[in-house]
């Protein structure tokens, strides 16, 4: 039988999951500790609960484990961007997406494993991603400039593609790719990344470029 946690409050005493917490502490005189008011009891109980929750959170490492789709637990680092991992640890091919998508554990973003190899017009790049159902899932979008550039490995020389060695992606070209980030200074341009040399570029809307779609993260309009 499973043991059930319980919460009981009586005479300034808190029992939580088998732990006995007696109200009273720093700043409380012996007389007050022996005969606390109802308000003091409530305050002391809440303080103890805060301490317990803080200890639980610290013990869990401040994060949660999520399934990678491949049968193992992988840390979800969505919107953290605070790690530098080798490709073998950084990229996880997602079995739940029919192995057609890749989780980047450095950013928490999910990318197409095999982005479209042909170019699309700037006016249809967003719609191209929005209409995709990679791995049987909708919700794809054109990445922001910072998201797209996060895939670049500056140590890889031209002619590229300038991706981390050992990456699992297919059909990535040594070519220019659209981002969804608008060029504020010139409306005839859009920001993009050249994967032949890893450079951020101002791309003319007059020419077709490739689109590499992403899932998750935030709106590109914020970048």
215 vs 129: CA distance, rounded Å: 9
CA distance 214 to 182: 17
Q: Which class is 76-222 in CATH?
A: alpha beta
- Point out which residues pair with 102 in neighbouring strands: 93, 111
What are 143-155's pLDDT values in tens digits? 999 999 999 999 9
pLDDT tens for residues 177-217? Answer: 999 999 999 999 999 999 999 999 999 999 999 999 999 98
- The series of mean pLDDT values per 10 residues for the chain, 223 residues long, is 44 44 46 62 78 69 42 49 90 98 96 97 97 97 96 95 96 97 96 97 97 84 49
Residue 10's DSSP bridge partners are 13
Per domain, the residue ranges of the chain are 7-59, 76-222
């Amino acid at each position: 039988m499973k043991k059930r946690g319980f919460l009981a409050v009586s005479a300034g005493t808190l029992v939580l999951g088998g732990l006995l917490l007696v109200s009273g502490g720093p700043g409380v005189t012996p007389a007050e500790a022996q005969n606390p008011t109802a308000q003091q009891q409530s305050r002391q109980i809440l303080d103890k609960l805060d301490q317990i929750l803080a200890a639980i959170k610290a013990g869990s490492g401040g994060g949660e484990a999520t399934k990678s789709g491949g049968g193992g637990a992988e840390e979800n680092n969505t919107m953290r961007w605070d790690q530098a991992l080798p490709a073998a640890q950084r990229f996880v091919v997602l079995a739940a997406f029919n192995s057609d998508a890749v989780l980047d554990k450095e950013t928490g973003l999910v990318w197409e494993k095999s982005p479209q190899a042909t170019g699309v017009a700037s006016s249809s790049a967003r719609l191209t991603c929005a209409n995709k159902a990679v791995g049987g899932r909708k919700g794809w979008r054109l990445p922001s400039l910072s998201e797209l550039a996060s895939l670049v490995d500056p140590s890889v020389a031209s002619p590229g593609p300038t991706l981390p060695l050992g990456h699992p992606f297919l059909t990535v070209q040594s070519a220019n790719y659209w981002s969804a980030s608008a060029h504020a200074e010139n409306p005839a341009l859009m920001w993009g990344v050249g994967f032949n040399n890893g450079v951020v570029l101002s791309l003319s809307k007059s020419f077709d470029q490739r689109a590499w779609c992403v899932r998750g993260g935030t709106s590109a309009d914020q970048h």
